[in-house]
Amino acid sequence: MVHSINVNGTTHRVDVDDDTPLLWVLRDNLGLTGTKFGCGVAQCGACTVYMDGQPLRSCSLPVSAVGDARITTIEALAGKEAEAVQAAWVKHDVPQCGYCQSGQVMSAIALLKEIRKPTDRDIDLAMTGNLCRCTTYVRIRAAIHDAARTLEG
């Protein structure tokens, strides 16, 4: 059936089955391919988007459950936390293969919006849902701390 969803500030109408995960609507119907598929079962975090500003694994939410919520993908990131995190990611050369990094960046920004100066433990708890098979975790941690310093000004 036709679903009307708000993604990155625009309302889109998509004609897909109710059980279609939001992830595939974003990627296949809307062409927003920055959000990645990694497991399909909310184990890896590569598909992380925001729903009303909160992190969401888009592989595990059917489009029919989106309702009036506002979805934000990595393509529409804005704001000082996003700038600080992405700049820190580049400065630390965090990515290796890079495939999981959209999700990592989304989770890191969400963390810094809630906790201005996260501890290592805060980082563990927020980022443990984002797998990186290249295991770039050392740099993810360093970049988050660095971004926090930037935000401190």
CB of 84 to other proteins, least distance (A): 12
What is the rounded CA–CA span in Å between residue 113 and residue 12?
Answer: 27
**Piece in contact with other proteins (CB under 8 A), picked from 4-12, 104-112, 145-153:** 104-112
- 3 near other proteins, rule: CB under 8 A: no
CB of 153 to other proteins, least distance (A): 21
Contact residue for other proteins among 11, 53, 79, 90 (CB under 8 A): 90
Closer CB to other proteins, 6 or 134, in the complex: 134
Task: Give the CB-side neighbour count of residue 9, counting CA atoms within 13 A.
Answer: 5
Spatial contact of 111 and 118, defined as CB atoms under 8 Å apart: yes
**Piece in contact with other proteins (CB under 8 A), picked from 5-13, 74-82, 145-153:** 74-82
What 3-state DSSP class applies to 5? strand
Number of helices and strands in the chain (H, E): 5, 5
DSSP string, 48-95: EEEETTEEEEGGGSBGGGTTTPEEE-GGG--SHHHHHHHHHHHHTT--
Residue whose token pair is 């963390």: 111
Contact residue for other proteins among 4, 11, 53, 93 (CB under 8 A): 93
| 14-73 binders of other proteins (CB under 8 A) | 16-17, 19-21, 24, 27-29, 31, 33-44, 46, 48, 54-57, 59-62, 65, 73
| 106-145 binders of other proteins (CB under 8 A) | 107-108, 110-111, 114-115, 122-141
